[in-house]
Amino acid sequence: MNSADTKDKYWYRDKKVTVMGLGLHGGGLEVCRFLDDLGARVTATDLRSAETLAPSMEKLAGRNINYVLGEHRMEDFSEADVVIKNPAVPADSPYLKAARQVETDLSLFLQFTKNPILAVTGSKGKSTTVTALHHILKGSYPNCRLGGNITVSPLSFINELKGDEPIVLELSSWQLADLRGRDLLKPEISLITNIMHDHQNRYNSLEDYVLDKEEIFLHQKEDQTALFPLNERGLNWAGKTEAKACFFSFNDEGEPDRRLRFYLRDGRGMARVNGEEIEIVPGKLAVPGRHFRGNMLLAGAAALLYGIKAEEVRERLESFPGVPHRMEIIHRWEGRTFVNDTAATIPDAMTAALESFEKPPLLICGGTDKELDMSPLENIEGKAKGFFLLAGSASDRMLPYMKKSGCPLNGPFNSLEEAFKEAVKASEEGDTIILSPGATSFGMFLNEFDRGNQYKELARALK
């Protein structure tokens, strides 16, 4: 991949730039805006139709953008000075191989900003962690910004930055893969929340996936900090970075390891500072569940390392309301509580959701398979009042575990509405009905957020 690292913004004037993937989440849209403002000649190409992409195109009305939709043309890549790829496009795409130079919205952002960055990656928990971290930091830095994989392109706010406010970035393995070998990402604080089997339809092995995750800390310097789980993998990572390594654990049983800087104890998040234990996560939080409390520990840890006082961290976490689509309480009706956890796209996240409630919930789950490890479902015995399966290839693989669990099994259903109606019919006062699929949304929905929004509409229609 050729690099434009030494080029300034003016280099892009009158250059031919192809944006591969206009999309609906804002990444392609913001790239088009950014490059049009720089005077580039922009072509946006996407395999989806103009009808599907109308919401993004409407926001670009009046701009000098050339659209090639419903197809990709090789000449738009081979004749472009630069191609801006969507992170979801594999690097071995023949269109990218024909390009002279490949960038992403993130690589453009990192080339053109000097703001301090706090970067977070991981298989699960990263969106909740970065949103909570941003919530804490905004109390001290009102202009602090949040972007990345959380569906906010950092290019959407690059022109509003003053240069000193911290930027919180959520980074996926695909985004990090696009940065490998670029020496662009040097965050003040890096954090890897966890590693689970995810996106194995895209990777040859779990270790290939982990190698992409490691890009988050590989170029950090001695005066920067990396936050790792205290396990064999985390200790290995500590030996690969120049940054100061700090360790965390979610295990609150027994005396914490002396190597730990951050840990849970009796349901509270603790930090060890100058030999003293300091509480940074209060016992009372707005969202239930052990995994949510772990995410709050990580957000608090990163904020404390950035210089926010412990009492401020604790107070701001206590007021943090949670994140849309992640253990989100969306409606209450006739004594029933409806929770939207559509972002739980792997079995580990689904089982964590089941364990968040004292009383077993009614679970709507299932969907499309991405070659994930289903073994976490071996421990769901008695943890659901009932399963309501959506039809799909992942559901077919979940069925044996659910039959073995002894919990009532319903479906598979060919629509979310059918599954929802049956779950409501089977519920009674005091029950929780949760959408926590443990699978991807492909096929039945546009994406996981569409799935969650449809669930919200169904729940809120109950008057």
387 forms bridges with which residues in the sheet? 363, 409
Three-state DSSP class for residue 322:
coil
Compute the Cα dihedral for 233, 236, 241, 245 and give only its sign.
positive
Compute the Cα dihedral for 280, 283, 289, 290 and give only its sign.
positive
Contact 246, 235 (CB under 8 A): no
d(CA 117, CA 276): 28
Structure pTM?
0.82
- Comparing C-alpha atoms, which of 94, 190, 172 is closest to residue 345? 172
- Determine the topology of domain 12-103 in CATH: Rossmann fold (3.40.50)
- Determine the topology of domain 108-318 in CATH: UDP-N-acetylmuramoyl-L-alanine:D-glutamate ligase (3.40.1190)
pLDDT given at position 132: 97
d(CA 51, CA 69): 10
Containing 263, the helix (H) or strand (E) segment is strand 260-265
* Distance from chain centroid for Cα 221: 25
Residue 161 dihedral angles phi and psi, to the nearest 5° = -80, 145
pLDDT given at position 185: 97
Tokens 């929802």 belong to 420
How far is CA 53 from each of CA 30, 56, 275, 448, rounded to the nearest angstrom?
Answer: 14, 6, 55, 17
Contact 193, 298 (CB under 8 A): yes
- Determine the topology of domain 328-460 in CATH: Protein-Tyrosine Phosphatase; Chain A (3.90.190)
pLDDT given at position 104: 95
Task: Kindly state the tokens that stand for 294.
Answer: 């772990």
pLDDT given at position 232: 95
**Domain regions of the chain by residue span:** 12-103, 108-318, 328-460
* Distance from chain centroid for Cα 240: 24
Task: Kindly state the tokens that stand for 2.
Answer: 């050729």
Containing 412, the helix (H) or strand (E) segment is strand 409-413
Question: Which residues lie closer than 8 Å to 321 by C-beta, 6 or more apart?
Answer: 286, 287
DSSP 8-class letter at 313: H
How far is CA 296 from each of CA 195, 266, 330, rounded to the nearest angstrom?
Answer: 17, 15, 21
What are the pLDDT tens digits along the chain (463 aa)? Answer: 444 444 678 899 999 999 999 988 778 999 999 999 999 999 999 999 999 999 999 999 999 999 999 999 999 999 999 999 988 888 899 999 999 999 999 999 999 999 999 999 998 889 999 999 999 999 999 999 999 998 899 999 999 999 899 999 999 999 999 999 899 999 999 999 998 865 555 677 888 999 999 999 999 999 999 999 999 999 999 999 999 999 999 987 667 888 999 999 988 999 999 889 999 999 999 888 888 999 999 999 999 999 999 999 999 999 999 888 989 999 999 999 999 999 999 898 899 899 889 899 999 999 998 888 899 999 899 999 999 999 999 999 999 999 999 999 999 999 999 999 999 999 999 999 999 999 999 889 989 999 999 999 999 999 8
Q: Does a cis peptide bond (omega within 30 degrees of 0) precede residue 256?
A: no
Contact 141, 35 (CB under 8 A): no
Q: Which residues in 361-403 belong to E strands, given as ranges? A: 362-365, 386-390
How far is CA 144 from each of CA 141, 150, 165, 225, rounded to the nearest angstrom?
Answer: 5, 15, 5, 19
d(CA 77, CA 95): 6
Tokens 């999309």 belong to 23
d(CA 333, CA 330): 10
